[in-house]
Amino acid sequence: MTGWSCLITGAGGFLGQRIVSLLAEEKELQEIRALDKVFRPELQEEFSKLKHKVKLTMLEADILDKQCLKRACQGISVVIHSASIIDIMGTIQRETIMNINLKGTQLLLEACVQANVPIFIYTSTIEVAGPNSYSEIIQNGHEEEHLESKWSSAYPYSKKLAEKVVLAADGWTLKNGGTLYTCALRPMYIYGEGNPFMCQHINQALQNNGILTDFARHSLVNPVYVGNVAWAHILASKALRDPKKAPSIRGQFYYISDDTPHGSYSNFNYILSKEWGLQFDSRMTLPVSLWYWIAFLLEIVSFLLSPIYKYQPPFTRHLVTLSNSVFTFSYKKAQQDLGYKPLYSWEEAKQKTTQWVGSLVKEHKEALKTKIH
């Protein structure tokens, strides 16, 4: 169990940087390799502060570069693969998403075999399970239900295929004759400081006189705090290195949630921003079924125009379904097998996220002042 090293892909991302920070606290960890296409200057600064705790190497590389991956994996005992393109609006080219999310995962698995990396942990998503229909109700879902997304949209489709590849790779023979152990974590919608979707949502509201869009009031979901998802990855890496625990975890996937209250996405955004004066849009909203059919018509228009013009619908059927479904999951299996329990309480997570929302509001006000002067 002593003296291990870890490579994290997507280390500059919203979740990746939290995994790096928590890994740096691990006593017996000897080296962290943080890999991403590019690291923002402020993150480089933050990571260099961790260097007094652990040997930390930042690698700027492309997930599709075989040679770089091979070098990055040399002498590593655990790979945490959290790099991916997240696209819920359908704005990014399908080929790009499939390449990064699926092909990148396949290349990284092959690099692990060549470099004799025995453990591979994959950051999957709740979207590989659905929701497939806004009228379907899943409450306290669990792993034994074997739910599967039927959407052909590039993001859920690429993540679903990549997760299958990872779990099927469990038991592969490494170059030195060893065995590859894999598992996948499926977090709920991840919130917390630095969440790019929340940032976009709050900034939109600030430009709209502090009114939050209410597109998702019919959902019932259980978001999970970013620190708790990062913690689940640390526990999975420990469990797969434990000869007693590993056999029951190999080739398995786990839903990762925490004790954040269940509610709608709209209400959740409101809870985290009301302290700063942001408000709900109190106007009547259309029924979900109508939103769905409008989305369908917009998708047809987009398809018909595609030979001559790239029309991007403001929302799709996938987004309407995602934003308005009853879709909650239990973390019981992760608790049982990985010893997972949330590192941060709802109160702590709420306080940290609310403070961050406050910093966005402050930035907006300062930008307005500068504009006026």
DSSP state of 101: I
The parent domain of residue 30 ranges over 4-199+223-264+328-346
pLDDT at residue 367, as a whole number = 85
Nearest alpha-carbon partner for 126 in 290, 310, 322: 322
pLDDT at residue 72, as a whole number = 97
Please check the confidence at residue 371 and state whether its pLDDT lies above 80: no
Please check the confidence at residue 280 and state whether its pLDDT lies above 90: no
**How buried is residue 369: exposed, middle or buried, by Cβ count under 10 Å (0-12/13-18/19+)?**
exposed
CA distance 248 to 236: 12
Residues 6+ apart with CB under 8 A from 177: none
Give 220's strand partners: 326
Q: Give mean pLDDT, residues 321-327.
A: 96
Number of Cβ atoms within 10 Å of the Cβ of 301: 12
pLDDT at residue 237, as a whole number = 97
Catalytic residue ranges: 155
pLDDT at residue 330, as a whole number = 98
Residue 306 belongs to a domain:
no
Question: Taking the chain, what is the end-to-end CA distance rounded to the nearest angstrom?
Answer: 60
Give 58's strand partners: 34
Residue 205 belongs to a domain:
no
Residue 120 belongs to a domain:
yes
pLDDT at residue 143, as a whole number = 97
Q: How far is CA 317 from CA 10, 59, 166, 324, 332, in A?
A: 29, 38, 29, 11, 31
Q: Give mean pLDDT, residues 32-58.
A: 94
Residue 167 belongs to a domain:
yes
Q: Per the structure block, which two tokens stand in for 75?
A: 């002498």
Q: What is the residue type of 231?
A: W
Residue 307 belongs to a domain:
no
Please check the confidence at residue 269 and state whether its pLDDT lies above 70: yes
Query: Coil, strand, or helix at residue 208?
Result: coil
**pLDDT, tens only, 147-196:** 999 999 999 999 999 999 999 999 999 999 999 999 999 999 999 999 99
Residues in the chain: 373
pLDDT at residue 373, as a whole number = 61
Please, where are the H alpha helices in 139-195?
154-168
Q: Chain-centre distance of CA 318, in angstroms?
A: 18
* Four-CA torsion 356, 50, 237, 76, nearest 10 degrees: 140
- Is residue 27 a contact partner of residue 3, using CB atoms and an 8 Å limit? no
Query: Coil, strand, or helix at residue 211?
Result: strand
Residue 295 belongs to a domain:
no
Number of Cβ atoms within 10 Å of the Cβ of 107: 19
User: Any idea what the CATH number is for the domain that residue 9 is in?
Assistant: 3.40.50.720
Nearest alpha-carbon partner for 14 in 211, 227, 167, 308: 227
Please check the confidence at residue 282 and state whether its pLDDT lies above 80: no
Please check the confidence at residue 1 and state whether its pLDDT lies above 70: no
Q: What percent of the chain has pLDDT over 70?
A: 99
Residue 245 belongs to a domain:
yes
Its pTM surpasses 0.75: yes
Q: What is the residue type of 39?
A: F
Residues 6+ apart with CB under 8 A from 117: 7, 73, 76, 77, 78, 79, 111, 174, 180
Q: What percent of the chain has pLDDT over 90?
A: 90
pLDDT at residue 98, as a whole number = 98
pLDDT category, 91, cuts 50, 70, 90? confident
Q: Per the structure block, which two tokens stand in for 3?
A: 């003296």
Where is 354: in which H helix or E strand?
helix 346-372
Q: Give mean pLDDT, residues 43-68.
A: 94
**pLDDT, tens only, 192-249:** 999 999 999 999 999 999 999 888 888 999 999 999 999 999 999 999 999 999 999 9
How many domains does one find in the chain?
1
Exposure string for 120-150, b = 16+ CB within 10 A, e = fewer: bbbbbbbbbbbbbebeeebeebebeeebebe
pLDDT at residue 370, as a whole number = 80
Residue 111 belongs to a domain:
yes
DSSP state of 173: B
